[in-house]
Amino acid sequence: MNKDVEAYHNALTETDKQICELLYKEITKALPDAENKVWHRHPVWFIEGNPIVGYSKLKDCVRLLFWSGQSFDVQGLEPEGSFKAAEARYTTVKEVKLKDLRIWLKVAPTVQWDYKNIVKRRGRLERLV
């Protein structure tokens, strides 16, 4: 775990830290070649500079966000925002359904929208894979 992600985790309550450490472990295992860093103040994984998945502490939960999640042909994620992102929210580590999480992580690299170039394309997304 890099120092920025470790510092992020250490600033959390014990309950939120347990959730984030489980998410970190599963994401890192599923996406071993993805770049991981703190981006916009929360841990995010990138493939070729494109954000794939990340998590963040919100006021009352931990949010797991898949940037292209609305295009996944799977259950359990809720639309987030006006682009293609989808999320799951957790208040305890027991709420994390590993079976669902592993399915989402398997699909994530195969369904990607080009967020890396969204500014260059003036807010228009193009499908990568």
Range of the domain at 103: 3-110
C-alpha angle 98/42/75, rounded to 5°?
A: 30
Of the candidates 129, 107, 126, the residue with the CA atom closest to the CA atom of residue 117: 126
Centre a 10 Å sphere on the Cβ of residue 31 and count the other Cβ atoms it contains. 19
Q: In sequence order, what are the beta bridge partners of 87?
A: 65, 78
37: in domain: yes
pTM of the model: 0.91
30 and 102 in contact (C-beta within 8 Å)? Answer: yes
Identify the CATH number of the domain in which residue 106 sits. Answer: 3.90.1150.200
Q: Has residue 126 been placed in a domain?
A: no
Confidence of residue 117 (pLDDT cuts 50, 70, 90): low
Mean pLDDT across the stretch 65-80? 95
pLDDT at position 62 is 98
Query: What confidence score (pLDDT) does residue 8 get?
Result: 98
Asked if 62 contacts 19 with a C-beta cutoff of 8 angstroms, the reply is: yes
Residues 43-65 have pLDDT tens digits of: 999 999 999 999 999 999 999 99
Establish if 65 belongs to a structural domain. yes
Q: pLDDT over 90 for what percent of the chain?
A: 82
The tally of domains found in the chain comes to 1
Domain annotation covers residue 25: yes
